[in-house]
Structure 1
């Protein structure tokens, strides 16, 4: 798992960090095959019920389009990433991050130029985060961590990632916090619980064998739940 419209409520592009949080060392597990999917989530956002959906679809030329959308009557969030498989690793090509809370809007775009070796951001980006960042092999944007967590748990790999997102670099590390039984679409499933702590922010993801994305993603700030996504179905 990275899922800020505001510093309190906007999900960190991950996990995230479903967070946020984030989220990657990009050594690809040979047994993990990327396949299209649509995952519907029951979401709690800004203290209200919301609808959430993640999708992964082919984008041509060994590329994939991955998206997360959350909306309720007060707010909407949309995060999208195009990434490719290259040399056995995943790397982002472009991404967008838009949000709306009442009348406040935010819209950001990123381009990952691997030929030049830099990432650039445009749109509603803070001035101190507008400068290009030098890329390294294995860098990912936050949203891709959702997929990488599932891949790396399955392969038994370290859950440590270098996230290049929103005009900054962050080292992300998830710890396995045991297993728990959770409900997925009304059925009980055994899940591996993963936790990332970053100051006053925390992202928790539950990974279920055979499910392409985390079955649940919880983002917390100052000890309070900010966003909670629970899978209801995966097609």
Structure 2
């Protein structure tokens, strides 16, 4: 059951080293939105994910991914995940300040990530004591990965490297546009750019429409149960 709605997929999906690139300097401030997705496994809808971005009023932003099981075993067991990131907007780029993840399936699993930008230290605690390591400019977390990819595509990038805070270190994840394809999802039919991760052999694909949305219209990943997310509705504010 723990594989039905894994936090790593919903964050990768449902998430930059290029923060030092001149393209980021032209990036406008974050725009609030709410995106609703179907969560599918084996072609059947098993849940719903709601991804949202809002200003917190203190110069930071909150990026949230809330998922719940709505059918089958996922619904029967009340499976749900909650991923919430607070980030700052620094020189036209997001940088994680805190990230909290909670997965409730057979058992509850939690993770808290804190980035102290004064001391440039990252602390990651899964309940057994924190792991600490050095932060790098433009550091994000797995929850905001898909959002960071969308921002890079909006700025005209075709490939990007993201410094992502994982449990014990910074992982430089690499993504590139592999093709342009027609995609049908509940929100409509789109000509989308298919993005693949290139630094691992674990299958990951996300389809973006950069001129319209900063989050994917579809996301699929083999790891963690073979889930697919499809956009149902997007509301910008």
**TM-score, normalised by the number of residues in structure 1:** 0.84
Determine which structure has the larger helix proportion and give its number: 2
Query: Quick check: 1:24–1:148 contact (8 Å CA) kept in 2?
Result: no
Change (3 A) 1:171 1:132: same
Instruction: Give the Cα separation in 2 of the matches to 1:225 and 1:13.
Output: 9
1:10 aligns with: 6
SS state at 2:181 partner: strand
Change (3 A) 1:48 1:189: closer
Instruction: Give the Cα separation in 2 of the matches to 1:192 and 1:29.
Output: 23
Query: Quick check: 1:94–1:111 contact (8 Å CA) kept in 2?
Result: yes
Q: Please give the residue correspondences for 1:59-78 in structure 2 after superposition, counting only pairs within 5 Å.
A: 59-72=56-69, 73=75, 74=77, 75-78=79-82
Q: Please give the residue correspondences for 1:1-235 in structure 2 after superposition, counting only pairs within 5 Å.
A: 5=2, 10-12=6-8, 16-18=11-13, 22=15, 24-26=17-19, 27=21, 28=24, 30-44=26-40, 49-72=46-69, 73=75, 74=77, 75-102=79-106, 104-124=107-127, 130-157=130-157, 158-197=159-198, 199-208=200-209, 209-221=211-223, 226-235=226-235
Count of residues paired in the alignment: 222
Structure 2: stretches of 5+ with no match in the other structure? 70-74
Give the alignment's Cα RMSD to 1 decimal.
2.6
Which 4+ stretches in 1 moved above 4 angstroms? 45-48, 197-200
Query: Quick check: 1:13–1:165 contact (8 Å CA) kept in 2?
Result: no
Query: Quick check: 1:9–1:226 contact (8 Å CA) kept in 2?
Result: no
